[in-house]
Chains A and B, each alone.
Chain A
Amino acid sequence: MWARNKYIVLRRIVQLLFLALFAAANLWGWKVLMGNYSTALVMETVYLSDPYMVLQTLAAGFLLSADALIGALIILMFYAAIAGRSFCSWVCPLNLVTDLAFRMRKKLSWRKKENIMLLGRNSRYWILVLGLLLSAILGVAAFEMISPIGMMHRGVIFGFGMGWAVVLMVFLFDLFVLENGWCGHLCPLGAFYSGLSRFALIKVKHQAENCSNCNKCFPACHEPQVLDIIGKQSGFIRSGACSSCGRCIEVCEDNALKFSINNYKKHRREL
């Protein structure tokens, strides 16, 4: 039972811990993690910032303080070099909502291929660029103005106001319109980390000799296109779109998938 749900339990603990620490900073003045998912002060010493937010602010024409810029660099390096796109499934609070929609969709067994909206998995990269363009044109960080991630955070910590409506919109969109619609097709922040994460250190490793081609991993995955090597060849799931949620590892009954350290040498030979 533990092995089947190890990562999902850990992920929920980590996600809720971040929310709880942010909330505790506001409610009781804890100094562990103050701020939000765009900029947070850790233990009153280091600032961590969302690099996509910093880019938007730059595009809008404002150079943030050195604290925020260095914080963004730390985060950029951490995800690009080590943890991959794990922000999306381990930290982002909206993941609680989109995961729920994903699971409900599976339970209701809606058919998967019913994309009526012309949205592909690459749409998000265009939206990422669009966000920077709009920031430059309008002189204000365009995604931060509408970000459901920010609304979810502020909702939990400071009270939702009408912000819950935006979070609900994401849920309904994911449930009724498009599977994994927000995280996998629209979110420019997810796109940002996807674009960065190809050469991260921690990757899911596939051992094709153990694989029985049961195909259980595909429906569990939020980005099933990244699993293209499953059952065909051994190696790493290299795509930056993989958010290291570990769901495929949990559902695999053949011990053919596990988290591992990326082998860069081998990567070069494959290319």
Chain B
Amino acid sequence: MSDDQLNASRRDALKTMFRGAGVLGLGGMAWGGVVDGLKASELALRPPGALAEKSFIKACVRCGSCVEACPYDALNLATVDDHTAIGTPFFVPRETPCYMCTDVPCVPICPSGALDSELLKPSEPTEASERMDINTARMGVAMIDEDACLAFWGIQCDACYRACPLMGKAITLEFRRNDRTGKHALLEPHINRTACTGCGLCEHACVTEKPAVFVLPKELASGKVGNHYIKGWDKRDEKRLHELKEEQKNRSQSAEDYLNDWEDLIDE
């Protein structure tokens, strides 16, 4: 083979490699885009004992065991049009809420650890036979749209309150004077976010056309204070202050200096 031919075949080989890498990159971007889009949705409500959404979609092997275990057929496996990670379990409370089985059959069957019975540990030690306490589940948190809630209009309705498996704890009725009529009481339902399991029985029971009380994933329905606020009245939280390093505690500039520092703001 002459040098020219050798060079030509080498050039061809390089070209082919280059082209292959290009096509692979193209496919990778398309594939990655689809996957990224599918996992971005945070709207699905997961079964009890589910890890945080980000870890959950990593861990779930999409086997459907929890769906099969659910005696109420509340859980579904996501298909392409459900706009969440395909094949992962979720439930829609308005259709079928979580009925909070005390033995939580959907959790121990999970082969991957995506549903973790450790997350359902009883808050207080009870009998040894009860490894899980469904009341510690945090599938989501109920929210009330006060404009659409009949009780806030002054019409008596306590459907959600009565439906709540933690009646009086997760949903409380609070009495307030009805200023419109001047002689009636409003029986307003209020959600206690620390007790709400996100089971969705309230959403299921709500009598309005589109539910005025509805469950959202906790992550989506939560704010965050940030580490720089400390509850001075809470001894455990106050401890964080003492754990801070010295330079974090004492800023070099006092607030007064900082607020009066005009120099940088004025153009020459």
Contact = CB atoms under 8 A, between A and B. Distances in A.
A162 B24 contact: no
B230 interface: no
Contacts of B31: 130, 134, 142, 146
Given A25-B68, A39-B111, A57-B59, 16 more contacts: A26-B64, A35-B65, A53-B61, A62-B55, A71-B111, A118-B19, A118-B23, A126-B20, A138-B32, A140-B57, A144-B61, A145-B35, A151-B87, A158-B76, A161-B80, A162-B79
Interface of B: 19-20, 23-24, 27-28, 31-32, 34-36, 38-39, 54-55, 57-59, 61-65, 67-68, 76-77, 79-82, 85-87, 109, 111-113
B113 A146 contact: no
A151 B80 contact: yes
Contacts of B109: 41
B65 to A, nearest CB: 6
Main secondary structure of the interface of B (DSSP, over half): helix
A162 B22 CA distance: 31
A154 B19 contact: no
B32 A137 contact: yes
Given A65-B113, A145-B39, A36 B62 contact: yes
Interface of A: 25-26, 29, 34-36, 38-41, 47, 49, 53, 57, 60-62, 64-65, 67-68, 71, 118, 126-127, 130, 133-134, 137-142, 144-146, 150-151, 154-155, 157-163, 165-166
A34 B65 contact: yes
A190 to B, nearest CB: 16
B36 to A, nearest CB: 6
A142 B19 contact: no
A136 to B, nearest CB: 11
Nearest to A38: B61
Given A137-B32, A145-B39, A150 B87 contact: yes
B27 A130 contact: yes
B58 A62 contact: yes
Contacts, number: 135
Given A35-B111, A47-B111, A146 B79 contact: no
Given A140-B39, A158-B76, A64 B68 contact: no
| 3 shortest interchain CB distances as A-B pairs | A161-B79, A35-B63, A162-B80
B20 A65 contact: no
Given A34-B65, A146-B35, A150-B87, A159 B79 contact: yes
B63 A40 contact: yes
Contacts of B62: 36, 38, 144, 150, 154
B64 A154 contact: yes
Contacts of A144: 61-62, 86-87
A64 B82 CA distance: 25
14 contacts: A26-B64, A29-B68, A35-B63, A38-B63, A49-B111, A64-B59, A126-B20, A137-B32, A141-B58, A145-B35, A154-B64, A155-B79, A163-B80, A165-B80
A170 to B, nearest CB: 13
A7 to B, nearest CB: 29
A57 B61 contact: yes
A205 B64 CA distance: 40
Nearest to A71: B111
A118 B16 CA distance: 10
Contacts of A151: 79-80, 86-87
Given A26-B68, A130-B24, A142 B61 contact: no
